[in-house]
Amino acid sequence: MPRPTQPILSTRNITDAALDAVDATGDFTMPGIAKQLNVTPSSLYTHISGRSEIVELMRIRVMSSISVPHPPAGWSERISAWGWAYRRAAVEHWRLIPLLMTRSVRTEVTFDIDTALVQAFSDGGFNSTDTRHAISTLDSLVLGSVVKLSTPDVAWTQSSNPSEVTREAANPLRTDDTFEFGLRTLIAGWMAQCVVRLYTESHSDLPVTSR
């Protein structure tokens, strides 16, 4: 008879246990994770420095699940696919967001964004500063759209029925429409910048009002 396998404690299963707890309850505790993994709380600290690092590891876990299609897909198509994949991951783990905002200590952990996403902006003609801004903008749109999942939508007419507005707010499909609109607007804006750039580069002898 095989002996029961002993779970090997690792950064990975600590992160898994914490993310499960956050998804279910909105928070996690070190004793709770230890209990879940059938280890003592103190043994967790041989793998991670503390609560703050676990929050960071969860964020990295969620981000690293997102991938970008490769060429021949066009640059804007690749960016759009990344945006949607990120949105889906963020909706799934939305309760992680308040936790990211309320932690008091910043750790030294970070993550590397998929280089394929950087390549997509580069293929669209963006320099490194604009690429960084553009990725942050997309990040903001996704995070903000998920914050809005749990807040009532703006009531922009006097006649709006408040209860209808607040009931609508919990519906991800409604916010999917809005996200689609927002993503399309960003890409249209980036394409417009791209067109202006191509035009001014190929007509450098012509007067242009701005570039």
Closest separation in Å from C-beta 12 to its own copies: 19
Whole-angstrom CA distances from 207 to 132, 195, 196, 197 are 30, 16, 13, 14
**Contact flag: residue 10 with its own copies (CB under 8 A):** no
Q: Are 114 and 66 in contact (CB under 8 A)?
A: yes
**Contact flag: residue 116 with its own copies (CB under 8 A):** no
Candidates 14-22, 38-46, 70-78, 174-182: pick the segment binding its own copies (CB under 8 A).
Answer: 174-182
Handedness of CA 169, 103, 129, 84 (dihedral sign): negative
Cα–Cα distance for residue pair 59/94, rounded to 1 Å: 11
Closest separation in Å from C-beta 31 to its own copies: 21
User: 101 or 206, CB closer to its own copies?
Assistant: 101
Q: How does DSSP classify residue 159?
A: T
Name 172's Cβ contacts closer than 8 Å, sequence gap at least 6.
Answer: 91, 149
User: 44 or 126, CB closer to its own copies?
Assistant: 126
**Contact flag: residue 131 with its own copies (CB under 8 A):** yes
Q: For its own copies, which residue of 24, 191, 198, 208 counts as binding (CB under 8 A)?
A: 191
Q: How does DSSP classify residue 118?
A: H
In the complex, which residues of this chain contact its own copies (CB under 8 A)? 26, 56, 59, 94-95, 97-98, 100-102, 106-113, 115, 117-118, 130-137, 139-145, 147-148, 150-158, 160, 162-163, 165-166, 169-170, 175, 177-179, 181-182, 184-193
